[in-house]
Chains A and B, each alone.
Chain A
Amino acid sequence: QTVVTQEPSFSVSPGGTVTLTCGLSSGSVSTGYYPSWYQQTPGQTPRTLIYSTITRSSGVPDRFSGSILGNKAALTITGAQADDESDYYCVLYMGSGVWVFGGGTKLTVL
Chain B
Amino acid sequence: QVQLQESGPGLVKPSETLSLTCTVSGGSFTSSSNSWGWIRQPPGQGLEWIGTVSSSGTSYSNPSLKSRVTISVDTSKNQFSLRLTSVTAADTAVYYCARFYWNDVSIDYWGQGALVTVSS
Q: Cβ of A48 and Cβ of B46 under 8 Å apart? A: no
Q: Is the interface of A mostly helix, strand, loop or mixed?
A: strand
| Cα-based distance from A1 to B104 in the complex (angstroms) | 25
Q: Is the interface of B mostly helix, strand, loop or mixed?
A: strand
Interface size on A, residues (CB 8 A): 25
CB A56 to nearest CB in B, in angstroms, measures 11
Contacts of B62 in A (CB 8 A): 98
Interface size on B, residues (CB 8 A): 24
For the A-B complex, the count of residue pairs with Cβ-Cβ distances under 8 Å equals 62
CB B100 to nearest CB in A, in angstroms, measures 8
CB B66 to nearest CB in A, in angstroms, measures 10
Q: Cβ of B96 and Cβ of A99 under 8 Å apart? A: no
Instruction: Give 1 or 0 for each of A38-60: 1 = CB within 8 Å of chain B CB.
Output: 10100001101001100101000
CB B104 to nearest CB in A, in angstroms, measures 5
| Cα-based distance from A87 to B45 in the complex (angstroms) | 10
A104 within 8 A of B: yes
Q: Cβ of B52 and Cβ of A89 under 8 Å apart? A: no
Q: Cβ of A45 and Cβ of B96 under 8 Å apart? A: yes
Q: Cβ of B47 and Cβ of A55 under 8 Å apart? A: no
B106 within 8 A of A: yes
| Cα-based distance from A51 to B107 in the complex (angstroms) | 9
B42 within 8 A of A: no
Q: Cβ of B110 and Cβ of A46 under 8 Å apart? A: yes
CB B101 to nearest CB in A, in angstroms, measures 8
Q: Cβ of A89 and Cβ of B106 under 8 Å apart? A: no
Q: Cβ of A99 and Cβ of B49 under 8 Å apart? A: yes
Contacts of B113 in A (CB 8 A): 45
| Residue positions of B touching A, CB distance < 8 A | 35, 37, 39, 46-49, 52, 58, 60, 62-64, 96, 100, 104-108, 110-113
